[in-house]
Structure 1
Amino acid sequence: MKFLPKRAGMLALMVAGLLVQPPGGGAVMAAGPSIAPAPPPEVAAIPVSMLVDLNSGQILTERRPDVPFLPASVTKVMTAYVAFEEIAAGRLHFDQRFPVPEDASKEWWAKGTSMYLTPQDRPTLAELLHGIMTNSANDACIVLARGAAGSVDNWTAKMNAAARRLGMSRSHYHTPNGWMDDGLTYVTARDLVRLSDAMTMNYPRFYRAFSGRKHYFWRDVAMRSHDPTVGVVPGADGIKTGYTREAGYNFLGSAERNGRRLVMVLAGTPTFRERDAAARALLEWGFSAWSARPLFDKGATIATARVQGGAAYAVPMVADRDVIATLPAGTSPQIGLTVRYKGPVKAPIAKGQRIGTLEIRVGNLPPGHVPLRAGRDVAVAGPVDRLRNGFMNLLQ
C-alpha cells in the first residue's frame, strides 16, 4: 500500500494499482454516460426504493431516498435494535420475564397482528423479540416497552436517541410498533439503511437469532413471517415487512452472499404482490448485475490517523467488515479511494470508535462510504508520551 500526502484530514491512497487520486482529494471521474445497469422493471412503479451494498457503501439504485414515509410495522426494527443495545449493555437479558399489564392486554388483544398476550402470561425477552420480528406482534412491542422502560413514551425516547446516534436525521418514532398515529412516526429509506447497517454489523449474532425466521410458536399460537424473500432468494435473511392502509406495503430487506451484504427499502407499494415481486427482483439484480472487487479484509489497517494528546502518536483505522468496490458486472472501471477524518483525533480513543470514513469511487458512479474505526485503544498521554510526541512533531 502506498500513501500519498495528507491534506486537511484527508488521505489519498493507492491500493494494488487500482487508484489514481490527487492529494487534494479531487475525484477522478470517468467521462461519458453512467455505467450503472438499469434496475429491474418491477421496481419502476414503487414510490420509494433503495438498494445499497453495505460492503462498499455504494447505492446501486434509489428513488426518493430522503422523502419521509409512514413505516407501519417496519417501525419494529428500531424496537428490536434498542433491545439489542440494552442487552449488550447488560440492562436487559434474553431470559428476563415481562409482566403483561391488564390494560395493555385489553387494548392490544388481536389488534392487528398479535401474540394474544394475557395478564397470566410472563413471556421472556427472547419470546417477545421472536413475536416482534417474526410475527410482527403489536402487543409484544407494548409489553416490551412498558416492561423495559416503564412506559411507551420512555421507550420511544430511547428509539429516538438511537436514531440520533445513527445519524437518522429525518426519522422520528412515536410508537414502538408502527400502529397508526396520525403521521407522528416517520422514516426515510436512507435512514432505514443506516439502521440496517448498525443492526447487521453491530449485533450480527442477535440479528441472525431473530431475523429471517419463517415460523415461530408461542404456546399454541403459530406465528408466521410475511417476508417475501426468505427461503426464496438465496442469502435473504430478513428484515421486516409493514402494512397499514395509510402506509401501503413496505419492506426493509437484506441478503448476504459470499460475504457481501445488500440492504433494500421499498415503501408505499399499492399491493403486497407488487412489493413482493419487486423485493425479489431487486435483490437478485443487486447480486447478478453487480460484481465485487475485494479491497480490504475486515479488521485490516486501511490507514493511520494522527492522535492528539495520546499515549500513541497514531492509531490504525480499520473497517468492521470486508471492504469491496461494487462494479457493474463485466466492467473494469477505475476505482478511487480516499480516507477522510477530522484530525488529529483527540485521546482517549476506544477500540471500535468511529474516527473516519473510506470513500470509494467506481468510474462515474456516486461514491460509497464505509465507516472506519479505531483499531485499538489509545489512552491519554503521560509525561513521557508527551515528550516523545513533541519530538515526533518537530520531525514533521
Structure 2
Amino acid sequence: MPVILRLLAPLLALAALAVPARAAPAVPTAQEAPVAMLVDLSSGQVLHARDPDRRFVPASVTKVMTLYLAFEQIAAGKLDPDQVFAMSPALARDWRRKGSTMFLEPGEPVRVHDLLLGIANVSANDGAVVLAEGAAGSIAAWTAAMNRTARSLGMHGSHFASPNGWPDEGRTFTTARDLVTLARALVTRHPDAFGYYVGRAGFAYKGIAQVNHDPMIGRVPGADGIKTGFTNEAGFTYLGTAVRDGQRLVLVLAGVESARLRARLARAYTEWGFAAFDRKHLFAPGSVVGSARVQDGAARHVRLVARGPVAINLPRGQSPSLSAVIRYDGPLRAPIAKGEEIAVLEITGPGLPPARIPLVAAEAVAKAGPLARIRNALLEPFA
C-alpha cells in the first residue's frame, strides 16, 4: 500500500531560500527535434520534455544497451575484458566493413576490452555483433538478454532486435524516458566502466585512428558522452550527458534532420539546463531525511537517507511554494539490506519540474524472531 509522509523541516528551509532575480536564458524551442528530453539525474527533475514517451528508432544509440549489458556481465564475473573473441564466417558475411567499423576480419582475435572501446567511441557495428555472439553464443541470445535487462530497468517502451541498431524495419525502438533510465543505470551502477570506456575523443585500432562524433565532447565543459546515432530510418539521434559541480544532466534528442542541427541543439539544451536554474542543496550526503515503518523486523522503523546530496533546481527569478513528501509502498517487510532503495523523496511546486530523489535504508533491518514479532504486534496500535 502506498505510504506518504509529509516533511515539515525541509519545507521551512525551502521557504526561506532567496532566489536571485536574474533573467534566465531561453530554452531552445526544439521545433527541429520531434523528441527532446533533459533531466537532472541527481534530483530526477525533468527540466524539459517534448514527447518523452513517443517511440522512435534509436539507430546506434542501441549500442548503449549493449555496453550496459556487457558492464553488467563484467561486474557479475560472466565476462572478462581480457577475453578474446573472433568474427565468425557467418558474421563476416553480414557485417564485415558494414557501416561504422573497427575493420575486423574473419577469425581475427580481438579482446572484449577493445570491442567495448570500439563500440562506445567509433560506433563499431562489427564490434557489437562480435561481442554479442562471443558473450552469448548468438546474436539472438544477446538481444534476448538486452530485452530482459530493459524490462528489469523499467524500460517498458523499448524493444531491441539487434545489438547495434542497424535498420530493421522498426523492430528496434525506444523512448526518451527509457533512454534516460538507461543512462542513469549506466552512470550510477557502473561509474568506473563508464568513465573508462565511454566519451573518448576517438579510438585507434590496427593502426586506424577514428574520431568520436559526439557533438559535446571537447566543446561543452563537463561533457563525457554517451552515444550518437544515425540511419535514414531514424534520422539523427543522441543520448548525451555532462556533469558540473556534482550535477549531472542527461539529454535525449531524436528525429533531428542533420548532424549540424543535432550538435547545435545538444549544446544549447545542455547550457540552458545548467544556466536556467538555481541549484539549492537541502541535505548533505548521508543526512537522515525521514524514516519508514517496517513489518516483521528486528526494528519497527528504518531511517532513510539519499546516496548523495539532496538538491533541487529552482527556475531563476522564481520562488515557488514547495511541498515535500516521502513515498514508499508499506509497511516495508524485513529483511532490509543497508543501502537498499526503498523510498522516494518527492519535492513539488507550482510550475516546477518535480524532483524525485531515491532514498535508501541507512541500516540493515533483520527479520524479527518470534518474541520480537509478538512485541511488534502488541505495539502496532501505538505506532
Q: Same fold (TM over 0.5)?
A: yes
**What RMSD, in angstroms, separates the aligned Cα atoms of the two structures?**
2.0
**Equivalent position to 2:130, from 143, 148, 151:** 143
Tell me, yes or no, if the aligned pair for 1:104 and 1:142 is still in contact at 8 Å: yes
Paired amino acid for 2:293: R
Q: Contact (CA 8 Å) 2:32, 2:257: kept in 1 or not? A: no
Measure how far apart 1:40 and its partner are: 2.0
Quote the residue 1:40 is aligned against: 28
Deviation at 1:384, TM superposition (A): 4.1
Q: Sort the Cα spacing of 1:271 and 1:300 in 2 relative to 1 into closer, same or farther, 3 A.
A: same
Question: Aligned runs of 1:255-270 on 2, under 5 Å?
Answer: 255-270=242-257
Shift of 1:391: 4.6
In 1, the alpha carbon distance for the partners of 2:339 and 2:99 equals: 40
Q: Is the Cα–Cα contact under 8 Å of residues 24 and 275 in structure 2 kept in the other structure?
A: no
* CA distance 1:392–1:69, change in 2 (3 Å): same
Q: Does 1:248 align with 2:235?
A: yes
Q: How does 1:376-395 map to 2 (within 5 A)?
A: 376-395=363-382
| Identity across the alignment (%) | 49
**Which 5+ residue runs of structure 1 have no aligned equivalent?**
1-6, 21-34
Cα deviation for residue 215 of structure 1 reads: 1.3
Q: Which of 273, 278, 300 is residue 291 of structure 1 equivalent to?
A: 278
How far apart are the structure 2 equivalents of 1:165 and 1:380?
26
Q: CA deviation at 1:8?
A: 5.5
Report if the CA contact (8 A) 1:18-1:336 is conserved: no
How many pairs align?
375
AA of the residue aligned to 1:113: S
Structure 2 unaligned spans of 5+:
16-22
2:58 aligned with 1:71: yes
Q: What does the per-residue CA deviation read over 1:288-339, in whole Å, with 9 as the maximum and x for residues that have no partner?
A: 1112111223343222111112223222222233221111123332332111
Q: Please tell me whether residue 185 in structure 1 is matched to residue 159 in structure 2.
A: no
Q: Name the CA distance, whole Å, in 2 between partners of 1:311 and 1:286.
A: 45
Equivalence for 1:275: 262
What is the Cα deviation at residue 18 of structure 1?
3.2
Deviations 1:214-246 (A, max 9, x none): 112222121321100011000111110000001
Separation of aligned partners in 2, 1:79 and 1:154:
12
* Match status 1:18 vs 2:10: no
Could you say what secondary structure the match of 1:179 adopts? coil
Deviates more, 1:365-374 or 1:212-221: 365-374
Please say if residues 296 and 323 of structure 1, whose CA atoms lie closer than 8 Å, have aligned partners that are also in contact: yes
Q: Which amino acid aligns with 1:271?
A: S
**Partner AA of 1:216 in structure 2:** F
CA distance in 1, matches of 2:138, 2:193: 24
Runs of 4+ in 1 over 6 A off after TM superposition: none
Whole-Å Cα distance in 2 between the matches of residues 291 and 97 of structure 1? 49
Residues 18 and 335, structure 1, Cα contact 8 Å, conserved in 2: no
- Report the more deviating stretch, 178-187 or 315-324: 315-324
- The alignment's TM-score, normalised by the length of structure 2, stands at 0.92
Amino acid across the alignment from 1:18: A
Using the alignment, how far apart are the partners of 2:146 and 2:363 within structure 1?
Answer: 29
